[in-house]
Copies of this chain bind each other. A is one copy, B any other.
């Protein structure tokens, strides 16, 4: 599954872990302006350039998470069993699920515009091609000022204000947020004995204020953990400190190989972790195989080019030998 988080220091940062038991061969992809023509929208193209992680199929970027040149951010995360898309409707602007991220980031400059757009369009269950059925997802859309969670469920479109700045997977977002109430007593601070005045209980370790925080890899537990570590994290506001902090938060929900078996021989792992500076269009990432942070800078590419910029996710451990 996956975890997305947001962070505001001097700039705004947006990113996620992608957890899976296999990889489609994701790449970091910059889509220049006007490169994508949306399938059912009669010539509408992306006005804004986009950077993010995508699986590129036949020169077409299927984005997992991305940011546009206006600083609008969006990521799709698994929402299996709850996502419901529509059939194509003749009288509606139809946007296929596979082009949803590209569409919103291609035509909107902020969360407010995205929300208006969401209410107009008809999100359809069209496949990109045979063998690639629409993924069951929900989305976080964020800019520097606010974030929303977007879910298409049996009850229709749900748009939730996302004050936590976190998205994982099941259950639906409102239940994830409600569940945080069960952890309101947790604290990053040192704690006192409120169990009973008749006993002399004590902290035998630092960090006991968060006893009760779940440590497993299920989606509800990752939501609580990402919320706790994200909302309590601190750092300076420089680019280096912000990016460093972002990856430390994502580290608290990362999945090591072996702890989550899938089927007989598979293991879910954190395939990659990303952190995009939405103001500057710099996309930082690490992969399971490489702890070092790599970065791709959208501004160094010609955003009016007529082809994609593509670079594979680096996989080998890039160790620095000191001596």
List chain A positions with a Cβ less than 8 A from chain B.
1, 19, 28, 81, 163-164, 169-171, 175, 178, 180-196, 198-221, 224-225, 227-229, 231-235, 240, 243-245, 247-249, 251-252, 254-262, 267-268, 284, 286, 288-289, 291-297, 300-301, 309, 311, 314, 316-323
Contact = CB atoms under 8 A, between A and B. Distances in A.
Given A164-B199, A184-B194, A260 B1 contact: no
A232 B196 contact: yes
Number of copies of this protein chain within its complex = 4
A192 B184 contact: yes
Given A204-B219, A215-B221, A191 B185 contact: yes
A131 B216 CA distance: 42
B227 A217 contact: no
A202 B289 CA distance: 32
B215 A201 contact: no
Contacts of A297: 321, 323
Nearest to A82: B204
A317 B291 contact: no
Contacts of A249: 256
Contact of A261 (B190, B262, B286): B190
